Structures are given as structure tokens and as C-alpha cells.
Amino acid sequence: MQRYDRRALVLDTPDSGLGTASLALVSQGIDPLYAHDADEALLLCCEHAERIAALVVPGTLPLADLDAALARLGPRLAVGPESFLIVGPPRERPRIVGLRDRGVRWVLWEPYDAAELRFVVAAALASGDQLEPRRGLRVPVRLPVSVRHARRRADGQIRNLSVGGAWVALSEPPEVGASLLLEFPIGERLLRTSAQVAHRQPEPAGSRAETGPGMGVAFTPLPVLEARLLEGFVRERVESFRI
């Protein structure tokens, strides 16, 4: 699992619960810094300025308080609003417009799970090139999937998806190297593809984002139309985390 050398600074206000939610990031390769107010955040910015590459802020923070915090933290940070993440923002249009006007790029709507939080924090830390579907970007999803192997059929769930493969939660994953036939929905279409088991996890492992038994699969090369469909789906999933 990739570990990030750069840090995300989490502003955990008393009413947000964001600090507790983001504890799961540590086991998923991201080691955040935590601040309970702007004063503590400023001290961390002074100490770790060159390593802080994303700022995670709760959506409960009023815009005026956000402006005040950014006015103090901005000069100390090497990143701009495009690397700010607002978690759980209100859905009122004026607030959304206000965030967009400030250059905020990333949002995470409630309810969300640990995999989605990890993905969007990593997105705020990453460069634009790393978010291109063709570069193997894996997006968190929950899609039902039919798995056929050795004349047997089982139902699983795709937990993350890329143009080239997926992580499939499955109670009894086949052995590494096994050939599969997968069927799963992509929008209003049903995608059918053969695949091969690249790695498997027979027992739960709390250190992984994809907890529980399952397998990583690599798709066989898709026809052009299906590949474009899958790439478009991955891209739309990324856009769902943008404001």
C-alpha cells in the first residue's frame, strides 16, 4: 500500500468529529496532523510547512471562520485552495457557491465511509496527473458483481474500481491466477469482462481499506467502447468529489 510522505492537516473542531473519522487514514497509508483550532493549526504549519500538502476542514465551520483561518494559515502553506478538502459541507446553494468562489476544489458529502475519506484526502494530496483514469486511478465504489469461476457463480461487491481492474469483496475468493467472468453495472449498462485474480485476502485484515475477504482482479483488455464506458464512469466518480 502506498504511503504518503506529505501530510494532510486536519482541523478538527469540537462539533465536527472529523478527527475521529480520520484516524482510519493512518492504517491506510496517510498520516495526518491534527489541530483543534486555528492557533494550533498555525503552530503545525510553522513546524511542518514544507510537508503539509492538503488542508482538511469540517463543513460545520462558518465561511467567516474559514476565511479567518485561511488568512492566517495561507501564508504558511505551500498549497492553495485546490488542495483544501471540505468534509460534510451543507448542501445549500449559497454555501456551495461561497466555497467555489474561494477556490475550494474537493468536498466529501455525508454520509461517507473510510474508503471515500481516504480517496479524497489522497486526491487533495496528489497532482492532477495522478487522478487520470488511464493512469490506473482506483475509485471507491459499492457495486454488485456476479463472479463466475469453474462453473460456479457467486455474488460479491466491487469496493474499488479502475480502468484495469477492481477489488472484489467475496466470501471465498479463488486462488491467485484463477480465470473469472465478471458482470457488474456501469451506470445503466451491464459490463461483462473476463479477469484474473491478481491477489487475494481470505481473512479480514484491518490494515487494508478493503477490509474482509476478497480479491484484487485484473481485467483482460476491454473492447474500445467498453473501455471508454469504464473510463467515463471512473472519471464521473472522481467528479462526484469535486465542488
For the stretch 161-219, pLDDT in tens is 999 999 999 999 999 999 999 999 998 899 999 999 999 998 765 544 456 899 999 99
pLDDT of 23 reads 87
Torsion, CA 118, CA 48, CA 6, CA 27, rounded to 10? -40
State what percent of residues in the chain have pLDDT above 70: 92
pLDDT of 79 reads 81
Kindly report the number of other CB atoms within 10 A of residue 26's CB atom: 11
Weakest-pLDDT range from 19-23, 112-116, 234-238: 19-23
The separation between CA 55 and the C-alpha centre of its own chain, rounded to angstroms, equals 15
The separation between CA 146 and the C-alpha centre of its own chain, rounded to angstroms, equals 24
pLDDT of 26 reads 87
pLDDT in tens, 39-67: 999 999 999 988 899 999 999 899 999 89
Weakest-pLDDT range from 96-105, 113-122, 134-143: 134-143
In this prediction, residues 225-229 reach a mean pLDDT of 93
Boundaries of every domain in the chain: 7-126, 135-239
State pTM to two decimals. 0.87
Residue 219 burial by Cβ neighbours in a 10 Å radius (0-12, 13-18, 19+) = buried
In this prediction, residues 100-128 reach a mean pLDDT of 90
**Among candidate residues 55, 49, 13, the one with its CA nearest the CA of residue 32:** 55
Report how far residue 63's alpha carbon sits from residue 99's, in angstroms, rounded to the nearest whole number. Answer: 8
pLDDT at 35 over 90: yes
Pairing relationship of beta strands 189-201 and 106-108 according to DSSP bridges: unpaired
Report how far residue 125's alpha carbon sits from residue 84's, in angstroms, rounded to the nearest whole number. Answer: 9
Superfamily of domain 135-239: predicted glycosyltransferase like domains (2.40.10.220)
CATH 3.40.50.2300 correct for 7-126: yes
